[in-house]
Amino acid sequence: MTTPGRLRHPALRRRLLALSGIVLAALALLALVLMQGYARRTADRSYDMMLGSAVLQLGQSVRHSSRGFAVDLPVAAFATLAQAPNDRVFYRISVNGEVLTGYGDLPAPPPRAATARTLTQPGPDFFNAAYRGEPIRVARLVRLNTERLPQDEIVIELAQTRLARNAMAEAMLHPALELMLAVLAAALGLLWLGIYYAFRPFTMLARALARRSPKDLTPLALPVPKETLPLLDTINHFIARQQALLERVESYTSVAAHQLRTPLASLRALCENARDETDDTRRQQLLAQLVEQCDQLSLTVRHLLNQAMLDHRFHSREPEPVALNDLTRRVCLELAVQALRRGVELAFEPAPAEQHIQGDAFALTQMLNNLIENAVAHSPEGGLVEIRVLAGGGICIRDQGPGIPAHEKDRVFERFYRGTASRHHGSGMGMAIARDVAEHHHARIHLADNVPHGLVVEIRFEPEVSP
């Protein structure tokens, strides 16, 4: 497994430059091949004009008389080819397939489709071949002798090595190659500058974040390109979430310190009174109040810890499928003994079919614990608390306690608020935690009066909605 310290961080700039360089090199290689072909064709066209002129002169030197065919090789034809002094020249003149003069082993032209025979050929044909281990360029001219019947076919072939042609092609190719290499180097340089300036916004973001104080959670405002705005918006969104979380923690800490200060002072006063009390009956009363105050303080601390844990889970856990029937049954079984100790009966009724939602089972368990504990705590001895899972995704909790006045139904969800009609001294956080869990799961908690008395708490989940 790769540890965070050993993670490889490839340089994106170098990678882009390397990929772009490969593409440019491939294009340059393609251009080189095309330029090489163009230079070769241009050199062939230039020297083919001289070779074609020479073969035409050779064709005019073939004569027919009563003694047969004779050839008077023109000096001017070979003088034309002397402009390439390092090249060698070969020729062959054939009549009706028989060599009249020249090199009889010159290579034959490449095969091609048969064409109709014409009286005169407008110009010679050119083709490349190899002769005696050297590449050659051959001009081939076909003439028909119409002075007698049947007509005689005269073939004049004049070949020249390619030294001058190759030298001319290289002379044309070298400047183009130098220019192409210069353009390639300039393109890579400009590309590097473009990549450098394209990635400058990321450097600006990194420097802006590095220069910031740990306490500075204001949004970043940088002149970045449009393409970088999504990243900047994401960073600002993260900063805003951290700011909200920090403010919430500071609020919790401030309120918790205030809420803990009062019971701690009360505990100290009760301890001092119990220490100084001489009447045993009064001392036992003070000790009972001390135990009750300890229980209330323990409940407050437990709710504060649960709130902190839930806040962490809300920002770190992905939702999972939760079966409401199974979850509610387990919560009821865990609270059954506590309810029996208070003389309250729990009744659980599952939905006809299992109801599934996307959420956090731990958070939902804390919500149900708080709501059912409140219902049990406010129910009279011998009372009944009904917990029912509703079809369509919901949970209903009914108790037979005093209920909540209409003007307090909204306020009971405020943190550390305790109702005036309550005979149970809780932490004031149970309903607030339940509301936070419900909102995280896109659910709503509705409070209504039970008949003849008591409270009905109904939680409605939106089906197939993830938090």
Q: 207-247: per-residue pLDDT in tens?
A: 888 888 877 888 888 888 888 888 888 888 888 888 887 77
Same-domain pairing of 321 and 444: yes
Residues 224 and 83 in one domain: no
CA–CA gap between residue 288 and residue 367 (Å, rounded): 30
CATH number at residue 412: 3.30.565.10
Query: Looking at residue 281, which CATH number applies to its domain?
Result: 1.10.287
Please indicate, yes or no, whether residues 308 and 366 belong to a single structural domain of this protein. Answer: no
454 found inside a domain: yes
- Are 451 and 345 part of one and the same domain? yes
User: Which among 170, 204, 237 is the end of a domain?
Assistant: 170
Question: What are the C-alpha distances in Å from 13 to residues 6, 23, 229?
Answer: 21, 15, 20
Q: Residue 332's pLDDT is what?
A: 94
294 and 401 part of one domain = no
Q: Could you say which of 170, 192, 225 is where a domain stops?
A: 170
- Rounded alpha-carbon distances, angstroms, from residue 355 to 323, 347, 350, 393: 6, 19, 9, 6
Asked, as a colleague might, if the bond just before 452 is cis with ω within 30 of 0, I would say: yes
Q: How far apart are CA 365 and CA 374, in angstroms?
A: 14
Task: Name the residue among 31, 64, 345 with its Cα closest to residue 173.
Answer: 31
Q: Kindly state the average pLDDT of the residues 263-278.
A: 80
Q: Is residue 203 part of a domain?
A: no
Residue 75 and residue 154 in one domain: yes
Q: State both tokens at 248.
A: 């919430």
Give the integer Cα–Cα distance in Å for 342 and 339. Answer: 5
Pick from 352, 349, 342: nearest CA to 376: 342
- Do 366 and 426 sit in the same domain of this protein? yes
Tell me which of 158 and 66 has the higher pLDDT. 158
Residue 303 and residue 282 share a domain: yes
Half-sphere exposure of 351 (CA within 13 A, CB side): 18
Domain count, the chain: 3
DSSP H helices in 225-276: 229-276
pLDDT tens readout for residues 83-114:
888 899 998 988 888 888 889 889 988 886 55
Minimum mean pLDDT range among 31-45, 287-301, 387-401: 287-301
Q: Are 271 and 348 within one domain?
A: no
Same domain, 166 and 20: yes
**Which of the four pLDDT bands, split at 50, 70 and 90, describes residue 466?**
very low
Separation CA 255–CA 177 (nearest Å): 78
- Other Cβ atoms less than 10 A from the Cβ of 439: the count is 13
Are 295 and 324 in the same domain?
A: no
DSSP 102: E
Question: In which band, very low, low, confident or very high, does the pLDDT at 371 lie, cut at 50, 70 and 90?
Answer: very high
User: Span 30-45, mean pLDDT?
Assistant: 90
Co-location of 298 and 359 in the same domain: no
Spatial CA neighbour of 93 closest among 51, 133, 136, 59: 59
Q: Can you give the residue range of the structural domain that contains 269?
A: 212-316
